[in-house]
């Protein structure tokens, strides 16, 4: 007769553990869903995209151009980035009507007849362009750098 109460107690304890496990799993799942919703809210924040390519004096894309983007009313840059191996760069900016100045600077060493860069003839290149953003849009620009 002592086996029945033990069996009932162990069964009840096992059932309680199972209920606790299910509840904790459900709670963890709801926390993950809340985190995913927060990520989506952050990702859905509206923006405009300035996408550009930096070109050298020979109209070829330049790698490693230092790009700065700022509103015309400010003197200091608001965003700083570099062009990639294809000379491309991209920056998210706030949507809505707004103007920006995109400035690029680079050092350029022309190639000699043997195909090696001539470091003694290095040139500093720079260029500016103005961009107008109307709303949430992508603007493709070309930034031509000259001496």
Instruction: Say if residues 66 and 105 touch (Cβ distance below 8 Å).
Output: yes
Q: 132: domain CATH number?
A: 2.60.40.1120
**How far is the C-alpha of 104 from the C-alpha of 129, rounded, in Å?**
9
Total domains, the chain: 2
One domain, residues 40 and 57: no
One domain, residues 101 and 37: no
Cα-based distances in Å from 55 to 27, 42, 108: 54, 34, 11
Query: What pLDDT is stored for residue 2 in this prediction?
Result: 54
Per-residue pLDDT of the chain (147 residues; tens, 9 = 90+): 555 666 777 777 777 777 666 666 666 667 788 888 787 776 678 999 999 999 998 899 999 999 999 999 998 989 999 999 999 999 999 998 999 999 999 988 888 889 888 888 888 999 999 999 999 999 999 999 998
One domain, residues 76 and 27: no
Query: What pLDDT is stored for residue 24 in this prediction?
Result: 67
State which residues form the domain around 76.
48-144
**How far is the C-alpha of 84 from the C-alpha of 77, rounded, in Å?**
20
One domain, residues 61 and 74: yes
Query: What pLDDT is stored for residue 39 in this prediction?
Result: 77
One domain, residues 78 and 27: no
Query: What pLDDT is stored for residue 40 in this prediction?
Result: 74
What DSSP assignment string belongs to 82-118? Answer: E--TTSEEEEEE--SSEEEEEEEEEEE--B-TTSSB-
**How far is the C-alpha of 146 from the C-alpha of 125, rounded, in Å?**
5
Query: What pLDDT is stored for residue 81 in this prediction?
Result: 95
Name the residue among 65, 70, 111 with its Cα closest to residue 91. Answer: 70
Strand (E) or helix (H) holding 35: helix 3-43
Pairing of strands 66-70, 98-108: antiparallel
> How many Å separate Cα 118 from the centre of its chain?
35
One domain, residues 56 and 100: yes
Name the residue among 96, 109, 97 with its Cα closest to residue 64. Answer: 109
């Amino acid at each position: 007769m002592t086996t029945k109460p033990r069996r009932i107690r162990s069964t009840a304890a096992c059932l309680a553990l199972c209920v606790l496990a299910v509840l904790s799993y459900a709670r963890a799942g709801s926390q993950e869903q809340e985190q995913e919703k927060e990520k989506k809210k952050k990702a859905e924040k509206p923006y405009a995209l300035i996408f550009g390519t930096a070109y050298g004096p020979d109209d070829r894309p330049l790698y490693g151009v230092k790009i700065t983007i700022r509103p015309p009313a400010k003197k200091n840059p608001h965003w700083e980035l570099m062009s990639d191996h294809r000379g491309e760069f991209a920056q998210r900016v706030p949507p809505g009507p707004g103007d920006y100045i995109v400035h690029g600077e680079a050092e350029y060493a022309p190639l000699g007849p043997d195909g090696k860069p001539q470091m003694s003839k290095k040139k500093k290149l720079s260029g500016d362009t103005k961009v107008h953003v109307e709303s949430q849009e992508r603007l493709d620009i070309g930034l031509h750098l000259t001496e």
